Amino acid sequence: MRLVIERFRTQTNCDKQIVGILFVVDHMNRIIYKCFTLELPDKGNQKKISNIPVGRYNVEKRVSQKYGYHFHILDVPNRDYILIHQGNYYTQIEGCVLVGDNLTDINKDNILDVTNSVATMKKLNDLLPNKFTLEII
């Protein structure tokens, strides 16, 4: 089992975030689940203000009081505690990856948000093993 995040821009001149599609791919290379992601834009892999570089990473399930069950992206150069976790708005990202089942402007600020993030995280936790790989393209 592995994850693939394909990044793309959906809004012109939006310097606040990057939207992507996350695919859960099984051992037969079949897509068994997909959802949307929000990340910060590329600002040279700077802590808390940038997304992480394109590449392949190891990921482990993790639990915390703040996010409940989520995922820890390991071995990101010059970064630590990069997580895939619940949240709806780019202001909640801090260098991590948010997931949701759809894109809409929840708070009417003309910037897309992800929806149903808690349910999406539950689905990912149900599908994914304790350790897997993530490829960001």
- Parse the chain into domains and list their residue ranges: 2-136
Mean pLDDT for the stretch of residues 64-72: 96
Using a pLDDT cut of 90, give the percent of the chain over it.
Answer: 93
Q: Write the CB contacts of 16 (distance below 8 Å, at least 6 apart in sequence).
A: 40, 41, 90, 111
Region 94-104 average pLDDT: 96
Regarding predicted confidence, which is higher, 10 or 40? 40
Backbone angles phi, psi at 17, to 5 degrees: -160, 165
The model scores a pTM over 0.85? yes
Task: Give the side-chain half-sphere CA count within 13 A for 62.
Answer: 18
The tens digit of pLDDT for each residue in 111-136 reads: 999 999 999 999 999 999 999 999 99
Query: Residue 59 belongs to what H/E stretch?
Result: strand 55-64
Residue carrying structure tokens 């693939």: 4
What does residue 133 show for φ and ψ, rounded to 5 degrees? -110, 155
- pLDDT at position 8, please? 86
